[in-house]
């Protein structure tokens, strides 16, 4: 056989059929779920809602106002508008009609100290006539931007790093009254003024949370965002909340509205980063999962939500929502803090 013929025969030999390697199927293992013995979920989720309602700009403004009443001349420095950039680099734009304190100082005789800065502004507008069908309406809005610590001989009385804003509207007419209060907080706060002894959140919080409450003629509540409380303050177990809830009260409810439970969901997190999610009626067809709810109980207006732990359904939880609409808005007198109210005797 010639070399050429041998090469031709070898070239026509078919390739061997590969034999597949057996693959061992992975058997899914169930998630390890935490021990929930003794956890009162009804109370824990209600407390979570109550705490979310307190994470608002009003808490910060009231505490900041209290701390400013300990100002002494020259400590801290106070500016109408914004301070020089080398004092505090506040980039709020040209229109900054508010007041700023900015300093790193201590005054031994008054036992106070200040470090950082705080800028605040506010405005109140009045329209209408009292005692008429249209009524008298008071609108207000304000903002606080800070990265500062305020303290006395006992320690830190107020600390805030972030931005907070809120708005109010009160209307009083001959045959009805209404109010609306909204707040947006994005920051971290601590101190004995906002969180005194016995506070449910003694270490303060870090939050990105929106709160809106209406009352009078129409009752409603909106809660969206999250808050971290540094310690397991909720039911002595949970340290964080995440929430997207919408409540409708008896006043102003429509025929298709559910007043027994909110729309949306609330989650509590334990220190092991395990989330416990309580899901109520969907806010829309595509709420939560991106698909319509597969199980009918979630569509029932019965005052109960379905509990999921690490995504595993655990049954229903029915918190008591009594008194959830008891929040009242700020008054006009407490809403705006002017430079004339500061005990400083002048400002740069």
- Whole-number Cα distances in Å, 36 to 41, 46, 270, 280: 9, 17, 11, 21
pLDDT at 320: 94
| 3-state secondary structure at position 176 | coil
Picking from 142, 138, 63, 60, the residue whose alpha carbon sits closest to that of residue 99 is 142
Residue 344 lies in a domain: no
Name the residue range of residue 291's domain.
40-330
Residue 229 lies in a domain: yes
Per-residue pLDDT tens, the chain, 348 aa: give them: 565 554 454 455 555 666 666 655 565 556 688 888 999 999 999 999 999 999 999 999 999 999 999 999 999 999 998 888 878 877 776 678 899 999 999 988 879 999 999 999 999 999 999 889 889 999 999 999 999 999 999 999 999 999 999 999 999 999 888 999 999 999 999 999 999 988 989 999 999 999 999 998 899 999 999 999 988 788 889 999 999 999 999 988 998 889 999 999 999 999 899 999 999 987 765 554 444 445 555 568 899 999 999 989 999 999 999 999 988 888 888 888 887 888 865 444
Residue 341 lies in a domain: no
pLDDT at 348: 44
pLDDT at 93: 67
Phi, psi (degrees; rounded to nearest 5) at 7: -65, -40
- Contacts of residue 240, defined as CB under 8 A and 6 or more positions apart, other chains included, come to 226, 227, 228, 229, 268, 269
DSSP state letters, 264-276: EEEEEE-TT--EE
Q: Render pLDDT for 192-219 as a digit per residue (tens, 0 to 9).
A: 999 998 898 999 999 999 999 999 889 9
Residue 5 lies in a domain: no
| Cα–Cα dist 330/168, whole Å | 7
Q: Render pLDDT for 103-161 as a digit per residue (tens, 0 to 9).
A: 999 988 879 999 999 999 999 999 999 889 889 999 999 999 999 999 999 999 999 99
| Cα–Cα dist 109/111, whole Å | 5
- Contacts of residue 193, defined as CB under 8 A and 6 or more positions apart, other chains included, come to 62, 63, 66, 67, 157, 158
- Residues 217, 250 contacting (CB under 8 angstroms): no
pLDDT at 113: 96
DSSP state letters, 222-245: EEEEEEE-SS--BTTTB-EEEEEE
HSE at residue 246, side-chain half, CA atoms within 13 A, is: 10
| Cα–Cα dist 279/307, whole Å | 6
Residue 244 lies in a domain: yes
Query: Could you tell me the two tokens for 311?
Result: 């995504």
Residue 314 lies in a domain: yes
Long-range contacts of 310-316 (CB under 8 A, 24+ apart): 310/31, 310/33, 310/274, 310/275, 311/31, 312/31, 312/33
| Cα–Cα dist 75/338, whole Å | 18
Query: Could you tell me the two tokens for 255?
Result: 């025929």
Residue 227 lies in a domain: yes
24 DSSP 8-state letter:
P
Count structural domains, the chain.
Answer: 1
Residue 141 lies in a domain: yes
């Amino acid at each position: 056989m010639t070399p050429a013929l041998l090469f031709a025969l070898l070239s026509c030999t078919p390739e061997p059929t590969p034999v597949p390697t057996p693959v061992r199927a992975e058997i899914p293992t169930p998630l390890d779920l935490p021990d929930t013995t003794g956890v009162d979920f009804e109370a824990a989720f209600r407390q979570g809602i109550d705490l979310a309602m307190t994470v608002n700009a009003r808490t910060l403004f009231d505490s900041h106002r209290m701390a400013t009443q300990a100002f002494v001349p020259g400590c801290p420095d106070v500016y109408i508008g914004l301070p020089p950039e080398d004092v505090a680099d506040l980039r709020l734009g040209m229109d900054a009609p508010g007041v700023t304190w900015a300093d790193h100082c201590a005054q031994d005789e008054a036992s106070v100290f200040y470090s950082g800065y705080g800028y605040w502004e506010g405005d109140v507008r009045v329209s209408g006539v009292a005692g008429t069908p249209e009524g008298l309406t008071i609108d207000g809005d304000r903002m606080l931007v800070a990265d500062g610590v305020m303290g006395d001989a006992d320690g830190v009385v107020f600390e805030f790093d972030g931005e907070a804003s809120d708005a109010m509207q009160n209307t009083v007419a001959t045959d009805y009254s209404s109010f609306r209060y909204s707040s947006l907080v994005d920051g971290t706060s601590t101190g004995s003024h906002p969180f005194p002894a016995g506070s449910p959140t003694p270490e303060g919080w870090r939050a990105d949370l929106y709160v809106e409450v209406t009352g009078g003629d129409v009752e409603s509540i909106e809660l969206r965002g999250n808050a971290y409380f540094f310690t397991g303050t909720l039911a002595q177990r949970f340290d964080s909340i995440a929430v997207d809830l919408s409540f409708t009260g008896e006043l102003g409810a429509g025929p298709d509205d559910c007043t027994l439970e909110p729309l949306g969901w609330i989650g509590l997190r334990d220190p092991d980063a395990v989330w416990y999610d309580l899901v109520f009626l969907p806010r829309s067809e595509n709420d939560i999962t991106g698909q319509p709810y597969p199980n009918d109980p979630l569509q029932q207006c019965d005052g109960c939500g379905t509990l999921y732990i690490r995504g595993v359904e655990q049954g229903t939880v029915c918190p008591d929502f009594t008194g959830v609409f008891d929040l009242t808005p700020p008054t006009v007198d407490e809403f705006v803090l002017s430079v004339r109210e500061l005990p400083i005797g002048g400002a740069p």
